[in-house]
Amino acid sequence: MGKPIVAIVGRPNVGKSTLFNKLAGRRISIVQDTPGVTRDRVYAEAEWLSYKFTMIDTGGIEPESEDVIVKQMRRQAQMAIETADVIVFIVDGKEGLTAADGEVAQMLRKSKKPVVLVVNKIDSLKDEPNAFEFYNLGIGEPITISATQGLALGDMLDRVVEHFKELGTEDEEDEYVRIAMVGKPNVGKSSLINKLLGEERVIVSDVPGTTRDSIDSYVETKEGKFILVDTAGLRRKSKVKEEIERYSVIRTYAAIERADVVILMLDAQEGVTDQDEKIIGFAHEMNKAIMVIVNKWDLVEKDDKTMIKYQKDIQANLNFLSYAPYLFISALTGQRVHKVLEIAKGCYDNYSKRISTGILNDVINKAVLMKEPPVVGLKRLKIYYATQVANKPPKFIFFVNDSNALHFSYGRYLENQLRESFDFKGTGIEIEYRERKE
């Protein structure tokens, strides 16, 4: 499983984005005084007391009238309940308790998910009593903060990470490999999953955007046990009219965060779009295992060189994904569909791989003998030793004399040596250079 996900939910203008930016340590969401300004999906990595987690600012409410706010908030809360491990419900200490707050609190209570109730805009001690009425929401003791001034955020985060301990691990699901299918609407994700499941479990239709949410399906084959997650298709920004779209983007990011393997599905007739690049770029940054499937291959006129040429074209667009395997299929006719899980499992095995320190250092020493590091400034990089500190994704620490002496091209050379020696096809890997005095 990925890092815990924390969603921030609340009415417009209660300070969700301000809080989010404070926690993320940089301005990510647009903060203005117009209710409903938070447009873009907002995702950030945060850390507190050595717990790393992912935050979502659900935002995005267009308040035309009170009932629209309530409706949108319900949807927001629903999304948070489905995708988040812990929910931060933020209310306005200046304005006091509203009917919309009550409605959302009711949903959150029913969800049985851990909720941290946060009363914002308590800028001084004299405002503290404003928090009392929020006990009426029945979701526990409110914690008072001032997001703009950064007051009491530590107490709030203590409460949030407290819940991480209760989450535990999902043992039954641990033996399953989680695969997230991502790609534009109507590219055939649902059809492929139905083929793999051998039954019509996911609604398939020719209307782009039928799959609104991420849907999980369990399947066992000779390759192993898998959870297939069909994510909502992502449209281009200009078409993101409905709030629902915003939530489907958030859900797709959450599905990637939780996945072991991410499959980017492309339409053979359309190739790679900006949106494809963006979403798979996110998976690449998270160092997930990744494979690329080109669907509707039956509709392409081809000779013996078409596939190679086609793959080169896609790779030129996705040049950061040089490690990902490609598969050309037709979900409709079933062509090569039997290979999907076999290749995905190969990517997962590499994603989970562990290399012993002895063998790792032999390979690194050989690599340095074959090609010594260039002098950067006045220094030459010296690598004392390397060790693997984690898997899923594989993470290595190289202890060196001076990390500033690392030329990026040499860093790439070392990564390629690791990939060639240990076959990390289909997975991102992470290398950290740490200084250690001799």
Annotation-wise, does 50 bind a ligand? no
Nearest to 185 by CA among 231, 140, 128, 152: 231
Q: How many residues does this entry show for the chain?
A: 438
Annotation-wise, does 122 bind a ligand? yes
Annotation-wise, does 11 bind a ligand? yes
Annotation-wise, does 426 bind a ligand? no
Annotation-wise, does 93 bind a ligand? no
The strands making up 177-182's β-sheet, listed across from edge to edge, are: 215-221, 224-230, 177-182, 261-267, 289-295, 326-328
Annotation-wise, does 85 bind a ligand? no
Annotation-wise, does 402 bind a ligand? no
Annotation-wise, does 391 bind a ligand? no
Annotation-wise, does 57 bind a ligand? yes
Annotation-wise, does 61 bind a ligand? yes
Annotation-wise, does 233 bind a ligand? yes
Annotation-wise, does 77 bind a ligand? no
Nearest to 330 by CA among 294, 356, 377: 294
Annotation-wise, does 60 bind a ligand? yes
Annotation-wise, does 21 bind a ligand? no
Annotation-wise, does 123 bind a ligand? yes
Rounded Cα gap, residues 287 and 320, in angstroms: 11
Annotation-wise, does 190 bind a ligand? yes
Annotation-wise, does 296 bind a ligand? yes
Annotation-wise, does 13 bind a ligand? yes
Annotation-wise, does 194 bind a ligand? no
Is 223 strand, coil or helix?
Answer: coil
Annotation-wise, does 31 bind a ligand? no
Rounded Cα gap, residues 65 and 40, in angstroms: 22
Annotation-wise, does 171 bind a ligand? no
Annotation-wise, does 168 bind a ligand? no
Annotation-wise, does 121 bind a ligand? yes
Annotation-wise, does 229 bind a ligand? no
Annotation-wise, does 234 bind a ligand? yes
Annotation-wise, does 159 bind a ligand? no
- Cα–Cα–Cα angle for 419, 425, 431, nearest 5°? 45
Annotation-wise, does 428 bind a ligand? no
Distant-in-sequence, close-in-space partners of 422: CB < 8 Å, separation ≥ 6: 353, 355, 363
Annotation-wise, does 59 bind a ligand? yes
Is 16 strand, coil or helix?
Answer: helix
Annotation-wise, does 126 bind a ligand? no
Annotation-wise, does 112 bind a ligand? no
Annotated binding-site members for GTP: 10-17, 57-61, 120-123, 183-190, 230-234, 295-298
Binding-site residue numbers are 10-17, 57-61, 120-123, 183-190, 230-234, 295-298
